[in-house]
Amino acid sequence: MKKILIFSAIILLLLPPFSPSAEKQATPQEIKEYVEEALAIYKIPGASLAIIEKGELIFHEQWGVTSAGAAVTVDTPFLIGSLSKPITSLAVMMLVEEGKIKLDDPIQTYLPSFRYQSASSKPLTVLHLLEHTSGMSEFAGLKVTDNDQTSGESITQAITELSDVALSHEPGEVYEYHSANYLLLGAIIEAVANEPFSEFANSRIFTPLGMKHTAAEYKKAAAVGLVPGYESWFGRPVKSSGLYDDTGASYGYIASSTNDLAAFLTFMLAGGELLSEQSLGLIKTPPEDGKTYSYGWHFSKTGGFPFHGGATPDFRGEMFFIPEQDVAAVLLTNKYHALEDAQVFYIMNGIRSLLNGENPGKLPSPSHSTQWIVLGITVFLAVLTVVHFFYLRKKKIINKIMSFSVGSASLLLAAVFIPLFAYVSGNPWKSVKLFAPDIAFLFYCLTAIIAVNGAMAFLSPLFKNKAAQ
């Protein structure tokens, strides 16, 4: 389902540059009304938006509630998804400055037990991980990410599962965004810092920046107030049971608030003691050779500014900063579905237009046609199943060969239906369940219907023909 995030990023790459100095820059009230309209259209239960200009919060507003019923505040923690990656990149660059990591070193320098299969002799380096050019496929990466683990599991466990992965491309040749790259970076940080990623992030980044409601492990996240968000079923918010991966903070499971991320973005704009101006400048510099991702950030092709989106099964966020204009913004929401991923992108795009003194245009209407189509097919097949049942019940003699053949084929189809869908779509079934739960449920129903039809066809000759005798 991460392909939806990539699609949103591609759209943002094509946006024109932003200029906050427009003569008709929107008022805070206009921004507030626009976001309120968007949240209502997309049925998003809770959100928070912070806009920073020249080191000052010029807009900070919250809407709605958490799944626990509490009003969203400036300090309400959300899971920030891949907004975690720029934080991990910052951690890597801090260790580079300290001489503990070299970007061109093979990753085995820091993770000697990790192995991968490659047709090339070219080594996989730290820089390749930062740029998502490791050569690992998205499918392989998704198998070891987004696991429901809240008992303090270590990144080492996930890395062990990923070890011996076969690279699909030569390292450095092909950009393919996925979180396993930053999972490995988290493991490298732990290896060279000789402490858990969560402790390094807390002591070296969160505390110095005053990010008091930010955490990189489940227990601390719960302690600062994190509660589950909302899944989306046919566009309607449904309280989630929550998912947190204690091995995944480095790529997507940091919990934070807009107040704290505003502090992080302020650092990215103005710098500070965490990183030298030279290293921070390297992070801010758009990549060359037509690349659009570097050091933990996507870059706009036209505007050249860094941005990132992020999602977990029940949260979605967007943030960007523009060094030339000294402007940044972060928007966090507490509802998610893979097929609705672009909604928060649309909202942030409209906010950017308003800040640029432009008309944001009409928000695209939400579409749930995929779910309705699958539901229609499910209902249709369920009706046919009932008809099939009464047909078999009425028929006195049944052709054994035909029934056994049809029944066997149907049962086989039921057995491979979900794995086949996962293979064709290029997404592990785990990802479908997490990021599109309504579609996953309907596919379970379809599988059951196919299996019932197969069982009826397979077994009916045994009972019918025996009864006829």
At 462 the pLDDT is 63
The Cα–Cα gap between 116 and 338 comes to 30
The Cα–Cα gap between 443 and 449 comes to 10
At 143 the pLDDT is 84
**Cα–Cα distances in angstroms (integers) from residue 400 to residues 159, 285, 364, 397, 462, in the given order:** 52, 71, 54, 9, 8
Residues in Cβ contact with 152 at an 8 Å cutoff, skipping those fewer than 6 apart: 217, 218, 219, 246
The Cα–Cα gap between 24 and 427 comes to 45
At 81 the pLDDT is 97
At 388 the pLDDT is 83
CA atoms within 13 A on the CB side of 154: 11
At 111 the pLDDT is 96
The Cα–Cα gap between 91 and 279 comes to 12
Instruction: Count the helices and strands in the chain (H runs, E runs).
Output: 16, 14
Residues in Cβ contact with 88 at an 8 Å cutoff, skipping those fewer than 6 apart: 182, 185, 186, 189, 250, 251, 296
Helix axes 277-284, 258-270, angle to 10 degrees: 110
The Cα–Cα gap between 231 and 336 comes to 6
At 57 the pLDDT is 96
Query: Taken in order 360, 361, 364, 365, is the CA torsion positive or negative?
Result: positive
Tens digit of pLDDT at every position of the chain (469 positions): 445 444 444 444 444 444 444 446 778 999 999 999 999 999 999 999 999 999 999 999 999 999 999 999 999 999 999 999 999 999 999 999 999 999 999 999 999 999 999 999 999 999 999 999 999 998 888 889 999 988 877 898 889 999 999 999 999 999 999 999 999 999 999 999 999 999 999 999 999 999 999 999 999 999 999 999 999 999 999 999 999 999 999 999 999 999 999 999 999 999 999 999 999 999 999 998 888 899 999 998 777 899 999 999 999 999 999 999 999 999 999 999 999 999 999 999 999 889 888 899 999 999 999 999 999 999 999 999 999 888 877 776 667 788 788 888 989 999 999 999 988 888 889 999 999 999 999 999 999 999 998 888 877 766 554 544 4
Nearest to 87 by CA among 249, 325, 314: 249
